[in-house]
């Protein structure tokens, strides 16, 4: 299993952090996203997990683990390896293994791996949640498919929220993302410095005819990480 560490563009000491995000769709608690993130020198690694809530399971289920390893180049993340293991309402159990020369995918536990075209760009989590500033494309990917991404606007803003979430100065990044079918989505990310690392403290996605999925960093859970595997063990056990 990959571990994760995101690289600072300047020299820094080793940094291991755990971030937990509450996911919501309107008033519905949709689940929890967990990221265990490590920066060392010019390399980064992260291990993430998402589990839909009991309330969300009535409409849609996506539980999974994802891992990435890469390096900072000119202040931007560059993905070297990416892994996803997921179980959802759409796909059942699925595994995708991304590498610089080849990407392999297993759609069902009963089927063999197949080779698919390697997606271009940087993995979505590193690009949007863990970059030290707004990501300036041209592409991001989820290990399986790539998406064109365009930074529409970058501005400083002040975030105001209850004690449960982050409040303070931040950078708002407004993006337009287009998939390989030509469909466009707007994504808004707010970055801020937490325990010496710049990370996303809020994120939202515009989806036509549906409530906007939104993620907010839970400040009580933003802490140094003891073990990436430990904090995502529950999600892994339920796949």
Q: pLDDT band for position 195 (50/70/90)?
A: confident
Q: What is the pLDDT of residue 55?
A: 79
Q: What is the pLDDT of residue 239?
A: 53
Lookup result for tokens 């079918």: 181
* CA distances (Å), origin 65, targets 1, 95, 203: 10, 10, 19
Q: pLDDT band for position 231 (50/70/90)?
A: very low
**Is the pLDDT confidence value at 226 over 90?**
no
Q: What is the pLDDT of residue 88?
A: 82
**Top-confidence residue, 151 or 2:** 151
Q: What is the pLDDT of residue 42?
A: 86
Q: What is the pTM of this model?
A: 0.82
Contacts of the segment 148-156: beta carbons below 8 A, 24+ positions apart = 148/177, 148/178, 149/121, 149/175, 149/176, 149/177, 149/178, 150/175, 150/176, 150/177, 151/175, 152/176, 152/186
Report how far residue 202's alpha carbon sits from residue 213's, in angstroms, rounded to the nearest whole number: 11
* CA distances (Å), origin 200, targets 107, 130, 132, 190, 215: 31, 7, 9, 6, 9
**Top-confidence residue, 213 or 5:** 213
Average pLDDT over residues 22-51: 90
**Is the pLDDT confidence value at 31 over 50?**
yes
Average pLDDT over residues 132-143: 93
What DSSP element (H or E) covers 66?
A: strand 62-73
Phi-psi region of 122 (alpha: psi -120 to 50; beta: other; left: phi over 0): beta
* Cβ-count burial 142-153 (b if 16+ within 10 Å, e if not): bbbebbbbeeee
In the chain, what are the domain boundaries?
15-237
Average pLDDT of the chain, as a whole number: 84
One CATH from 3.40.630, 3.30.1600, 2.40.360, 1.10.10 for 15-237 = 2.40.360
**Is the pLDDT confidence value at 230 over 50?**
no
């Amino acid at each position: 299993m990959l571990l994760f560490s995101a690289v600072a563009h300047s020299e820094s000491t080793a940094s291991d952090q755990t971030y937990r995000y509450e996911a919501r769709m309107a008033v519905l608690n949709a689940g929890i996203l967990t990221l265990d993130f490590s920066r060392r020198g010019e390399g980064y690694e992260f291990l993430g997990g998402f589990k839909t809530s009991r309330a969300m399971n009535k409409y849609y289920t996506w539980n999974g683990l994802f891992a990435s390893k890469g390096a900072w180049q000119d202040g931007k993340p560059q993905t070297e390896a990416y892994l996803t293991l997921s179980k959802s309402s759409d796909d059942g159990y699925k595994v995708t293994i991304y590498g610089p020369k080849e990407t392999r995918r297993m759609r069902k536990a009963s089927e063999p791996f197949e080779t698919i075209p390697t997606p271009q760009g940087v993995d979505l989590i590193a690009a949007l949640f863990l970059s030290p500033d707004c990501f300036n494309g041209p592409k991001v990917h989820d290990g399986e498919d790539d998406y064109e991404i365009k930074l529409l606007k970058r501005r400083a803003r002040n975030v105001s929220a209850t004690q449960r979430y982050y409040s303070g100065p931040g950078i708002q990044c407004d993006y337009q993302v287009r998939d390989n079918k030509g469909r466009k989505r707007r994504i808004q990310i707010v970055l801020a410095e937490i325990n010496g690392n710049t990370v996303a403290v809020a994120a939202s996605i515009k989806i036509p005819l549906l409530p906007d999925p939104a993620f907010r960093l839970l400040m009580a859970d933003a802490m140094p990480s003891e073990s990436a595997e430990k904090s995502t063990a529950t999600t892994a056990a339920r796949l």
